[in-house]
């Protein structure tokens, strides 16, 4: 399904965001999953030649952060600074995340604009003072509806996400008139069926809104780690109102009109399903109240599961991404989670599954194809890519398969956010090329030293090399380091085809782009044999 929602003017940036992550602890696989997905999506659109803006960052206010800092005997700001500089930013660099900005909610460029936004709503009569009492989950930073809670064996009310007891809070707060926006939100959902993805998430939100919305508490008065309410310094702005506004403040809201105009709203908000209601209900309602355009799409990914439990530090299933990249490599890490798990659904991680897919698909199917091609061009043609002059039905089938793979991968990844489907389309083509090599048996054809035999051998090897040229372009957003190695091995850039980053996805299916005469070299193995799994 193509992007839906507010149409942006021609030439505007394709704007993608991740959630801004709580810095109460170091990042784990779940955080990295969403961030890698956003990176692949934005790299894909860059490979299309589009203007792109990719935003990620950290959410640094709220009671949870304050308590974590206190438990570590530092100030909240000191805690945030330490985690951001020593854990979050280094991990994104390690995973080759090409984000254009990193927003921190403690930055002045953000906090000043948050105060202005909330002040505007207050001046418009969208915010009023009242009182509230109810169950509150500090982990979610959210008041829970009684019907959302679960019970343990002792009958204690628990947050369904964190499986921890909720706190009953009673305080005087300021409220946003969220209830008034129910009909407008339903109108938005009906006019734009793809606004919320996947469909199960959309149905959940629609049903929730149709039951009637309550006004939203947008301030807290029992602690002070947050952005002060501008007209009442006894209150701080509710952390979720603060956090959601990062999507606007990071691209120039009330500060850089030109930047804001060419970027906002986001084409895609990538989020975890546990924060769906904030993004699909509260955020568009806030924007409607301020007269601003709503995002194109809110896409909720599922949870990564280990042993049947959502991956998080609180239930001790958190795994460091570095535990995997040190063994499998960064590119394989980026590939695995998007290939193994359908985006939008829960998925289970296991070391054994990763190992099996790495060996079968990356090392045997893809890496071995690249190695065999380079070796044969080197052995039979001195490393110079020969011309294909004896093409037949088998080569026609490969050319058609390549064009099909390009079109399908572009549609699935670029439009539908079906990363798994797009990657499978590419690897189905890799399997097709492997099958072609097996059937054509170039090592046997090479024994025929006649002119016809040499022409046939040249055609087989050019066909395989040209196929890999397209694969390198298609996999560049997913596995950039490996794709660059393949590009260099094919001699594509040196043969005037140009840098890999300049190759357009939409042109990748055009047959015959790899220049005859390119110097093909056998470089390092793309996917080395795995050593034994490290000890736990």
Residues acting as catalytic residues: 28, 31, 137, 140, 159, 162, 310, 313
User: What are 396's two structure tokens?
Assistant: 């026609």
Q: Which of 496, 87, 53 is nearest to 251 (CA)?
A: 53
Instruction: Determine the Cα angle at 316 with ends 315 and 319, to 5°.
Output: 125
Return the bridge partners of 486, or none. none
Residue listed under structure tokens 């080759």: 96
- Which run of H or E residues covers position 127? strand 127-137
Distance (Å, rounded) from C-alpha 385 to C-alpha 513? Answer: 12
Answer for the pair 358, 336: CB distance below 8 angstroms, yes or no.
Answer: yes
Q: At what angle do helices 368-381 and 480-489 cross, to 10 degrees?
A: 10
Residue environment code for 329-357, b if the CB has 16+ CB neighbours within 10 A, otherwise e: bbbbbbbbbbbbbbbbeebebeeeebeeb
- Which run of H or E residues covers position 488? helix 480-489
Return the bridge partners of 55, or none. 17, 101
Distance (Å, rounded) from C-alpha 135 to C-alpha 146? Answer: 7
- Omega before 275 cis (within 30°)? no
Q: Beta 298-301 vs 196-197: how paired, if at all?
A: parallel
Q: Give one word for 306, left, alpha or beta, with left for phi > 0 and alpha for psi -120 to 50.
A: beta
User: What are 24's two structure tokens?
Assistant: 């109460």
User: What are 444's two structure tokens?
Assistant: 């046997």
Question: Measured in Å, how far apart are the chain's first and last C-alpha atoms?
Answer: 42
Helix (H, G, I), strand (E, B) or coil at 197: strand
Distance (Å, rounded) from C-alpha 253 to C-alpha 492? Answer: 43
Answer for the pair 120, 290: CB distance below 8 angstroms, yes or no.
Answer: yes
Distance (Å, rounded) from C-alpha 507 to C-alpha 495? Answer: 18
User: What are 51's two structure tokens?
Assistant: 């203007």
Distance (Å, rounded) from C-alpha 295 to C-alpha 423? Answer: 26
Question: What is the 8-class DSSP label of residue 349?
Answer: -
Q: Backbone phi, then psi, for 94, in 5-degree steps?
A: -60, -40
Q: Which of 414, 465, 473 is nearest to 437 (CA)?
A: 465
Return the bridge partners of 129, or none. 174
* Cα 272 off chain centre by: 11
Distance (Å, rounded) from C-alpha 92 to C-alpha 330? Answer: 11
* Helix and strand numbers, DSSP H then E, in the chain: 21, 18
């Amino acid at each position: 399904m193509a992007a839906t929602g507010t149409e942006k003017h021609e030439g505007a940036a394709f704007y993608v965001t991740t959630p801004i992550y709580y810095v109460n602890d170091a990042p784990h696989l779940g955080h990295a999953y969403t961030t890698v997905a956003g990176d692949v999506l934005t790299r894909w659109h860059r490979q299309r030649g589009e203007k792109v803006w990719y935003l990620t960052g950290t959410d640094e206010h709220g009671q949870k952060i304050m308590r974590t800092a206190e438990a570590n005997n530092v100030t909240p700001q000191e805690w945030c600074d330490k985690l951001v500089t020593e854990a979050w930013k280094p991990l994104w660099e390690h995973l080759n995340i090409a984000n254009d900005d990193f927003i921190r909610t403690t930055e002045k460029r953000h906090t000043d604009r948050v105060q202005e936004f909330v002040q505007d709503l207050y001046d418009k009569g969208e915010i009023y003072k009242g009182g509230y009492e109810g169950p509150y989950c500090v982990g979610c930073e959210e008041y829970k509806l009684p019907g959302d809670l679960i019970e343990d064996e002792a009958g204690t009310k628990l947050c369904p996400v964190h499986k921890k007891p909720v706190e009953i809070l009673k305080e005087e707060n300021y409220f946003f008139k969220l209830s008034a926006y129910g009909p407008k939100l339903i109108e938005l959902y009906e006019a734009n069926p793809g606004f919320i993805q996947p469909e199960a998430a959309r149905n959940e939100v629609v049903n929730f809104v149709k039951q009637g919305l309550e006004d939203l508490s947008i301030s807290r008065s029992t602690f002070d780690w947050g952005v002060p309410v501008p007209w009442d310094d006894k209150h701080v702005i509710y952390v979720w109102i603060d956090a959601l506004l990062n999507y606007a403040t990071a691209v120039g809201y009330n500060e850089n009109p030109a930047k804001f105009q060419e970027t906002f709203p986001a084409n895609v908000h990538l989020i975890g399903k546990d924060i769906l209601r904030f993004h699909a209900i509260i955020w568009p309602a806030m924007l409607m109240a301020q007269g601003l355009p709503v995002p194109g799409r809110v896409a909720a990914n599922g949870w990564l599961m280990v042993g049947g439990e959502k991956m998080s530090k609180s239930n001790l299933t958190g795994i460091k991404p570095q535990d995997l990249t040190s063994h499998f490599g960064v590119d394989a890490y980026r590939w695995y989670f998007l290939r193994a798990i359908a985006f939008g659904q829960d998925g289970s991680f296991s070391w054994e599954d990763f190992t099996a897919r790495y060996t079968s698909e990356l090392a045997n199917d893809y890496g071995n194809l690249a190695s065999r091609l380079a070796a044969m061009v080197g052995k039979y043609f001195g490393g110079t890519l020969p011309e294909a002059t004896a093409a037949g039905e088998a080569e026609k089938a490969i050319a058609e398969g390549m064009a099909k793979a390009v079109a399908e991968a572009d549609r699935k990844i670029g439009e539908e956010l079906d990363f798994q489907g797009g990657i499978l389309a590419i690897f189905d083509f890799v399997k097709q090329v492997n099958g072609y090599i097996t059937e054509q048996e170039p090592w046997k054809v090479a024994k025929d030293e006649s002119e016809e035999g040499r022409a046939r051998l040249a055609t087989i090897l050019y066909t395989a090399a040209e196929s890999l040229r397209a694969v390198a372009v298609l996999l560049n957003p997913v596995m950039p380091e490996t794709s660059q190695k393949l590009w260099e091995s094919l001699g594509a850039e040196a043969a005037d085809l140009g840098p890999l980053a300049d190759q357009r996805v939409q042109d990748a299916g055009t047959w015959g782009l790899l220049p005859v005469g390119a110097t093909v070299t056998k470089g390092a193995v793309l996917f080395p044999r795995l050593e034994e799994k490290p000890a736990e």
